[in-house]
Amino acid sequence: MSSDAALSGQKITVLGAGMVGVCTALELQRRGAVVTLVDRGAPGQETSFGNAGVMARSSLIPMNNPSMLAALPRMLRNKSAALRYDPLFLARNAVWVAQFLANARRSRFLETATALDQLIRLSIDRHLHLLAEHGLNGHLSDRGWVFLYRQLAGFESGAANRAVMADHDVPTEILDQSALRDLEPGLAPIFPKALWVKGSYTVNNPGAVVSGYAQAFARMGGTIVQEQAVTITEAEDQVTLHLTDAPEIVSDQIAICLGPWAKPFLEASGFRVRMGFERGYHRHFTGNRDDGKAPQLGRPVYDTAGGYVLSPMQAGLRLSTGVELADCEAPRNTRQIEQAEQAARQAIDLGARTDDTTWLGRRPTFPDSRPAIGMAPGSRRVALGIGHQHIGFTTGAGTAVMLAEIMSGRPCPIDAAPFRTDRYIRRK
């Protein structure tokens, strides 16, 4: 893509330097805009740092799907590793909860799966391009990832979601215990069935990938500002970003890519936002780092009954948890990751921990599990790329392409209607 007349010379601010914001800054810069990227910290140090590093076509299945409805009575006991919740959060966010469940109905779920599939395909293509272009292919692996099943009944209950993957041409292979042992010999023989999702990618250091993209943006002349943002005000011919400790930044357009913190920021700027937080934790273990020995895991695995994902990373084996529904800034609760650690120790020799704090991240989720991508309701200068739930490391790249096209006034390469920003965002 070359410089674009619609954006050439336009001053654009991108707020938030996670995967979504950094990719958006790169795409706008590529189209000739003069881009300033603002974050309170260094690029890629929040949610985009701590995830499982999976970029997979299978992620078209959101958490709220029909099989979740079937598992709901068990989940409501609030003991499952896959889902924990703060009852007060659910009470305060009753409308979000009701809409989240309503969107698990088959017809709505299928619409979402098809929309996410388009966004994931666009995103993976774009990541492959960006990783190669910016010399970051060393972080990439194309060995896919594996869903593990401890009981045949668990595998059977995934049949409907496997059918949806097949309908969208997601390449998979069903493995029995011996085929799984050949693929991942480090796993204990406690999984009679597994599903290997192929044609999918993983990275071994998500934070380094975001930071590598940000460095490329700076090398090509982009400006990075490290400041805390407070609000925006929009006028007929410009938009102003107000910062805590620095002069305001005035631009022609702004893209808000603040991940979970988009809700408080937009609410302070005159919007109402219906967003939930699917929080998750991670810890690292020595696992595959015994020098001179083959890695214990060749690819990330998702223990569906254990409710965790284990990913081989540069930092060791990263154990990340399922969902904790709680306020964005509620105190951390390590019960879920302790439960996940116990389950993971049954599956593999985890070894010793390599970190002393447990990382906490927040997956920002709209009730239909689709991100909001496009101009903010009623605005000509404020664009949004927020609400990427479990898959924003992947879909940041495709979101960026869509935002850059929308901010140029051009049609998107995929249908943008399912991602309209007015689904759950209103002006006050």
Ligand X SMILES: Cc1cc2nc3c(=O)[nH]c(=O)nc-3n(C[C@H](O)[C@H](O)[C@H](O)COP(=O)(O)OP(=O)(O)OC[C@H]3O[C@@H](n4cnc5c(N)ncnc54)[C@H](O)[C@@H]3O)c2cc1C
Chain contacts with ligand X (rule: CB under 6 A): 16-21, 38-41, 45-48, 51-55, 228-229, 257-259, 261, 265, 280, 282, 320, 361, 363, 388, 390-394, 396
Nearer of residues 18 and 62 to ligand X, judged by Cβ: 18
In 3-state terms the chain splits into helix, strand, coil percentages (rounded to 5) of 40, 25, 35
Q: What is the Rg, in whole angstroms, of the alpha carbon atoms belonging to the chain?
A: 21
Of 313, 314, 309, 365, which Cα lies nearest the Cα of 337?
309
Compare residues 17 and 136 and give the one whose CB is closer to ligand X: 17
Between 289 and 388, CB nearer to ligand X: 388
What b/e sequence results for 368-396 when a residue is b if at least 16 CB atoms lie within 10 Å of its CB, and e otherwise?
bbbbbbbbbbebebbbbbbbbbbbbbbbb
Give the nearer residue to ligand X in terms of CB position, either 150 or 282.
Answer: 282
Distance, CA of 114 to CA of 369 (rounded, Å):
12
Rounded to a whole number of angstroms, the minimum distance from the CB of residue 365 to ligand X is 9
Contact 377, 425 (CB under 8 A): yes
Taking the CA atoms of residue 107, residue 112, residue 115 and residue 118 in that order, the dihedral angle to the nearest 10 degrees is -110
Q: Is 361 exposed, middle or buried (0-12, 13-18, 19+ CB in 10 A)?
A: buried
Q: Is 21 helix (H, G, I), strand (E, B) or coil?
A: helix
Task: Give the span between the Cα atoms of 395 and 46, in whole angstroms.
Answer: 16
Residue among 287 and 361 whose Cβ is closer to ligand X: 361
What crossing angle do the helices spanning 392-407 and 19-30 adopt, rounded to 10°?
A: 30
Helix (H) or strand (E) holding 181: helix 177-183
Token pair, residue 277, equals 């937080």
Identity of the residue, 32 or 50, whose beta carbon is nearer to ligand X in the bound complex:
50
| Minimum gap (Å) between residue 20 Cβ and ligand X | 4
- The distance of closest approach from Cβ of residue 396 to ligand X in the complex, given in angstroms and rounded to an integer, is 6
At its nearest, how many Å lie between ligand X and the CB of residue 53? 5
CB of residue 170 vs ligand X: minimum separation in angstroms? Answer: 15
**CB closer to ligand X out of 20 and 416:** 20
Q: How far is the CB of 8 from ligand X (least distance, A)?
A: 26
Q: How far is the CB of 46 from ligand X (least distance, A)?
A: 4
